[in-house]
Structure 1
Amino acid sequence: MIIAVAGVAGTLGGSLLTQRGSERTKLREIELVRGQEDIHENRVLRRTCYVELNRDARQFTTALNRHLHVLRERGVEEADRAALEEAKAAHRDRYSEAQMIAPDEVLVRASAVNQALNKVYGQVKRLERGEPDAGETMETAERNGQGVWDKLRAMRAAMRHDLGVSSDGSLDRPGAGQHPF
């Protein structure tokens, strides 16, 4: 009788241990899948943010250059001001989003672009009002505007590296077949 009870207890205990082991394995698999899904979702989120930040920073840069040309050629109208403000607002929104998503390596480059764009924007607006700071001219504003393109390339290279889509960054070097516009 004792042997029979021990045999039944052993069989039931073995089944219980097997079931618990199976449950633990299943939970680990679920956690692994969730972790992979989180990594994928994070990468998709960063990629979307980077695409939009790159686009909006380039459009803001182009809008600043266009505004300088308009200022030089005919004088700025309300529609010109509105276009510049729209480009500035779009960039500001994307940069704010990147501050919450991008890793530090990318943020350093994005911050450099943001600072350069805001510097040029300030120069353009002061020139537009006819109240430039000492040494500010259309030419210095244009040079500073052209300097933004190198910072944009560096930002794009950092974003591509973060996403794992850049092998050596050779396409992101200044002058490596990249048109500034």
Structure 2
Amino acid sequence: MEIGAMVIAAVGVVGTLGGALLTQRGAERAKRREMELLRGHEEIRDYLALRRTCYADLNRDARQFTTALNRHLHVMRERAVEDADREALDEAKDAQRDRYSEAQMIAPDAVLGPASAVNHALSRVYGQVKRLERGAPEEGETMATVSRDQQEIWALLREMRAAMRADLGVSDGSGPVSG
């Protein structure tokens, strides 16, 4: 009987220790999964913050470039363009180019499509403005046609902003966004 009791006691001790070990390993696995989940949420939150900043900067700089084009057209109507006028326009163009380049690496296709349309329109109007400024417009390029093309950029900006807002979950993209 003593051997049987010892075996039973040994099995009990091994079972108790084994149970504690299995419980500890299960808790460690659960903690590891929880940490991975938290890390995943942090990455998502960081990526959302990165997109939000990128979109705000791109929206601001594209609007400022559009405004600078409009201002430059007004200067061309009112007086001779000076170096300071050219520099202001080129600074706005450069800022927008930098923001668009950043968006190309961050934004999903649903945002990049409208952002690309804005970028192309801005580049096209910039070229028209510079040709008018040099006195070498292409066929059909006049102050009136370039002004019209510049004003049409505002609609593209609204589409881009709506896509950005929808991507960020700020809007469902179905309603108009003014300005």
TM-score (ref. length: structure 1): 0.93
Task: String of CA shifts for 1:78-132, please: whole Å, max 9, x gaps.
Answer: 0000000000000001001101111100000000000000000000000011111
Find out whether 1:26 has 2:31 as its counterpart: yes
Moved more, 106-115 or 34-43: 34-43
Picking from 91, 96, 110, the partner of 2:96 is: 91
In the alignment, structure 1 residue 100 sits paired with structure 2 residue 105: yes
Q: Is the 8 A contact 2:61 2:95 kept in 1?
A: yes
Q: Out of 12, 20, 31, which is 2:17 matched to?
A: 12
Is 1:66 equivalent to 2:58 in the alignment? Answer: no
Give unmatched runs, 5+ long, in structure 2.
1-5
| Structure 1 partner of 2:82 | 77
- Could you report, residue by residue, the CA deviation over 1:15-69 in whole angstroms, capped at 9, with x for unpaired residues? 1100000000000110111111111111111011111100000000000011011
Which residue matches 1:132? Answer: 137
- Aligned partner of 1:114 in structure 2 is 119
Structure 2 length-normalised TM: 0.95
**Which secondary structure does the structure 2 equivalent of 1:166 belong to?**
coil
Shift of 1:3: 1.3
SS of 1:133 mapped into structure 2 = coil
- 1:41 and 1:21 mapped to 2: Cα distance? 30
Q: Which residue of 2 aligns with 1:157?
A: 162
Q: CA RMSD in A?
A: 1.0
Instruction: Give the Cα–Cα distance (whole angstroms) in 1 for the partners of residues 113 and 86 of structure 2.
Output: 29
Q: Which amino acid aligns with 1:115?
A: H
SS at match of 2:27: helix
Match among 51, 55, 58 for residue 53 of structure 1: 58
Task: From the CA coordinates, give the structure whose radius of gyration is larger.
Answer: 2
Quote the offset at 1:8 in angstroms.
1.1
Q: Does 1:170 align with 2:169?
A: no
Of the structure 1 ranges 2-11 and 88-97, higher mean CA displacement relative to structure 2 is found in: 2-11
In structure 1, distance between residues paired with 2:40 and 2:137: 54
CA distance in structure 1 between the partners assigned to 2:56 and 2:126 by the alignment: 22
The SS at the match of 1:171 is coil
The farther-off stretch of 22-31 and 160-169 is 160-169
SS of aligned partner of 2:19: helix
Percent identity of equivalent pairs: 69
- Unpaired stretches in structure 1, ≥5 consecutive residues: 173-177
Q: How far apart, CA to CA, are the structure 1 residues paired with 2:174 and 2:79?
A: 41
The aligned amino acid for 2:145 is T
